[in-house]
């Protein structure tokens, strides 16, 4: 695998996009896509964590939804 191709794949797997619109929070991280209806979100709180997550930053927003669902997203 060429270095250029490998770098593009690595970037695709690491970059996270979270968009709110149309009544859902759409989170995309490489091939993984999650849609969370806004009315199912229980809380959003700031966290400072080094725990592995799709968010690149250590300053994150922990979004709690449903009964046990938590997703960490970077606010920027």
Domain boundaries, the chain: 3-73
What was the pLDDT predicted at 42? 94
User: Quick one: which H or E segment has residue 9?
Assistant: helix 3-14
Which neighbouring-strand residues pair with 2?
none
Per-residue pLDDT of the chain (76 residues; tens, 9 = 90+): 566 656 665 555 555 566 677 888 888 777 778 888 999 999 999 988 777 665 667 788 888 999 888 888 877 6
What was the pLDDT predicted at 64? 92
Q: How far is residue 37's CA from residue 44's CA, in Å, rounded to a whole number?
A: 14
Q: What is the pTM of this model?
A: 0.64
Is the CB of residue 19 less than 8 Å from the CB of residue 59?
no
What was the pLDDT predicted at 39? 92
What was the pLDDT predicted at 7? 65
Long-range contacts from 68-72, C-beta under 8 angstroms, 24+ separation: 69/36, 71/27, 71/34, 71/36, 72/47
């Amino acid at each position: 695998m060429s270095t250029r191709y490998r770098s593009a794949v690595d970037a695709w797997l690491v970059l996270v996009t979270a968009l709110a619109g149309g009544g859902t929070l759409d989170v995309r991280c490489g091939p993984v896509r999650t849609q969370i209806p806004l009315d199912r979100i229980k809380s959003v709180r700031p966290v400072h964590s080094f725990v592995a997550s799709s968010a690149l930053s250590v300053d994150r927003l922990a979004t709690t939804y449903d009964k046990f669902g938590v997703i960490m997203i970077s606010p920027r």
